[in-house]
Amino acid sequence: MFHLLLDLRKMFLYILGLVAVWFVYRWYRETKRVSNKEDKYVYITGCDSGFGNLLARHLDKLGFRVIAGCYTGKGEDELKKVSSDKLTTIHLDVADSESVSKVAAFIKTLVGQKGLWAVVNNAGISVPSGPNDWLTVEDFKPMIAVNLLGVIDVTLSVLPLIKKAKGRVINIASVCGRISPFGGPYCVSKYGVESFNDSLRIDMTPFGVKVLCIEPGFFKTNVTDTAMLKNNFMKLWERLPQEVKDDYGHGFLDTTLEQLDERYRQIVDGDLMKVVGCMEHAISALYPRTRYSPGWDAKFLWLPMSYMPSWLSDTYLIKSKPRPKISAL
């Protein structure tokens, strides 16, 4: 028995050593960066603010030739003020195929025979969000048009240029593409991004194109602005039929609004560079990861929960939410 315990201890230490060696090897491998950054064009959507804006400025400082798609003229002007002459801004509405095609034609002329090194599908919106029975199918369409169809349209519009450069497609999904902690079109759209990302990755491998996915947790951006989310929730409540209001009760509304402040204060991370660092690595690393999960909540809460049996994750999510007035529980 004593010898068996010694053997088990040796085996455990051996496995621990192998794991440590693997992590050191992976760290060293991932430090290697691509060359000739000044010749590589990177196209980013949603650069008015948040992750896209920070990434555009960060890559510009690193020497990449950035093409920043902005939804507003104000976004373009402000980005130009803090960037070098190498950065190009252009108006882009990812939900408008004509706008997407116009930008793709411009990029084709700009990059020439070099092709496009990377596209970063960052643009996204997060409202309306709420219980599914508070919504109509019309509420789903605008967000899916931006968060999912926009990703597909932008990618396909420049994919020939990326294949020419043997470059990269970086899709910004979310932990909400793995698990649905709330109702509405946001999670639906992000699940779709995950599926498009995975199928495209397999399709593009023979062409030397890398397709990479970033699944952030909750970070402090316009998408998670509590004032906007509470305003959205109030608007949804006000238009509900009286019978639905009676099912939920006014206490459900009040508690939900209180929890928005409390929950977001607990889990929302203000350090956006955690996500931007993953984006930059996906663009510039010689050996990028297939998936990135920035944020402590992504790593230790949402992703582990997505692997749990449904009954277990459902139990946690149901207990963490306000209970409707009429409840079978």
**pLDDT given at position 291:** 97
Whether pLDDT at 23 is above 60: yes
Partners of 172 in the β-ladder:
214
**pLDDT given at position 158:** 98
Asked if residue 324 belongs to a domain, the reply is no
Which pTM does this prediction carry? 0.91
When pLDDT is cut at 50, 70 and 90, the band that residue 267 belongs to is: confident
More reliable by pLDDT, 22 or 259 = 259
When pLDDT is cut at 50, 70 and 90, the band that residue 221 belongs to is: confident
**pLDDT given at position 172:** 98
Taking the C-alpha atoms of residue 148 and residue 209, their distance in angstroms, rounded to an integer, is: 21
Taking the C-alpha atoms of residue 169 and residue 119, their distance in angstroms, rounded to an integer, is: 5
Asked if residue 21 belongs to a domain, the reply is no
Amino acid at 242: Q
**pLDDT given at position 25:** 67
**pLDDT given at position 260:** 83
Q: Report which secondary-structure segment, H or E, holds 208.
A: none
Q: In what order do the strands lie in the sheet with 41-44?
A: 88-91, 65-70, 41-44, 118-121, 168-172, 210-214, 291-292
**pLDDT given at position 224:** 82
Q: What are phi and psi of 171, to 5 degrees?
A: -105, 125
Local structure of residue 290 (DSSP, 8 states) = S
Instruction: Read off the pLDDT of residues 86-141 as tens digits, 9 standing for 90 and up.
Output: 999 999 999 999 999 999 999 999 999 999 999 999 999 999 999 999 999 999 99
Asked if residue 214 belongs to a domain, the reply is yes
Taking the C-alpha atoms of residue 119 and residue 103, their distance in angstroms, rounded to an integer, is: 12
Kindly report the average pLDDT of the chain as a whole number: 92
Asked if residue 102 belongs to a domain, the reply is yes
Residue 35 tokens read as 């060359």
Asked if residue 18 belongs to a domain, the reply is no
User: Distance between the two ends of the chain, CA-based, in angstroms?
Assistant: 51
| Distances from the Cα of 236 to the Cα of 28, 128, 161, 249, 265, angstroms | 50, 8, 43, 14, 23
**pLDDT given at position 29:** 77
Instruction: Read off the pLDDT of residues 28-72 as tens digits, 9 standing for 90 and up.
Output: 777 888 999 999 999 999 999 999 999 999 999 999 999 999 999
Mean pLDDT across the stretch 272-294?
Answer: 97
**What's the structural domain count of the chain?**
1
Q: What are phi and psi of 179, to 5 degrees?
A: -150, 150
Where in the sequence numbering do the catalytic residues fall?
186
Share of the chain above pLDDT 70, in %: 95
Asked if residue 327 belongs to a domain, the reply is no
Asked whether 25 and 13 are in contact (CB, 8 A), the reply is no
Whether pLDDT at 229 is above 60: yes
Amino acid at 207: F
Partners of 119 in the β-ladder:
43, 169
Instruction: Read off the pLDDT of residues 145-199 as tens digits, 9 standing for 90 and up.
Output: 999 999 999 999 999 999 999 999 999 999 999 999 999 999 999 999 999 999 9
Q: What are phi and psi of 219, to 5 degrees?
A: -125, 160
More reliable by pLDDT, 3 or 9 = 9
CB atoms within 10 A of CB 84: 12
Per DSSP, the three-state class of 44 is strand
Asked if residue 6 belongs to a domain, the reply is no
**pLDDT given at position 4:** 58
Local structure of residue 39 (DSSP, 8 states) = G
Asked if residue 116 belongs to a domain, the reply is yes
Domain of 181 in residue numbering reads as: 33-319
CATH of the domain at 59: 3.40.50.720
When pLDDT is cut at 50, 70 and 90, the band that residue 283 belongs to is: very high
